[in-house]
Structure 1
Amino acid sequence: MTGHVYWIYELEIKAGAYDKFAALKDEMIAATKADEPGTLNYEWSVSEDRTICHVLERFENSEAALAHMGNFGKKFAGRFLEVLTPKAMRLYGHPSDAVMNTLARVGAVRMPPIGGFSR
C-alpha cells in the first residue's frame, strides 16, 4: 500500500450559482496544478442537472494534503462556501492524525483500507 491520502467530496451547487461555481472551479484547478506538486489527482465532476459536484483529490502523502488544505483555506474557502454546500466526504488511504483532525470539521468519514493494491 502507498502513503497516499485521498478523498471524494460531495457538494451541492447552490441555486443560481453555477456560473460562479464554474469560474471558481477553473481558478482552483489552475492554482492547484501550478502550486501543489504533491497533488496527484484533482478531478471535478458534476451531475447532469448541475446540482451536485464531486471532487476527487489524491495526494502523495499527508503533508501534501495539509499543504493543499492550507492553500484552500487562504485562497478559496470563503468563495467556495458562497456557491457550494458540503454534503459528504469520504477519506481513504493513510491520513495522519493532523489530516484527520482537520477534516473532522467537515464531517469526513474515514474508510480504512482492507485490501487491494495501487500502482
Structure 2
Amino acid sequence: MTFTRFVEVGRLVYIDQGKFCGKVAVIYDIIDRNLVMIDGPTTGVSRSVCNVKHIVLTKHTVGIERAATSKQISAALKEEGAMEAFTTSKWGMKIAGQIRRKQLTDFERFQVKLLKQRRAQLLK
C-alpha cells in the first residue's frame, strides 16, 4: 500500500491541536520536514506556522503556488470547491455531527437519550 496524501503546497489539512483546533486550512508553504505555513481565509485560521504533528492531511488539494496570498487561496478554494467537497465528505459530516453534539443543551441531550432508548426497544 502506497501513500496518497503528501505534505504539499495546496493540501487541505484538518488542525487537531493548538489554537485553531477543529478547523480546516490550506498549506501554502513548507519550511522544513516538521513545519508548514497554513492559512484558512474562509475558516478563520490566520496565516501561521504549524507543526506537521498537529495537522491531519485530507485528500483534497487546491491548485495554488508556493507563498500564495490569502486572496489567491480563497479564490482557489471557491473556484475548485474544495471546502464544499470536504464538508460533504464522510469525514466532514462526522466533524459537523460532533460539533452539533457538543452544542446540545441538557434538554436536547435528554431527548436524544429517550430516542435511543425507544430505538433500542423497537430493535429488541
TM-score > 0.5, shorter chain as reference: no
Whose radius of gyration is greater, 1 or 2?
A: 2
TM-score, normalised with respect to structure 2:
0.25
TM-score, normalised with respect to structure 1:
0.25
Larger relative contact order, structure 1 or 2 (CA cutoff 8 Å, min sep 6):
1
Higher share in strand:
1
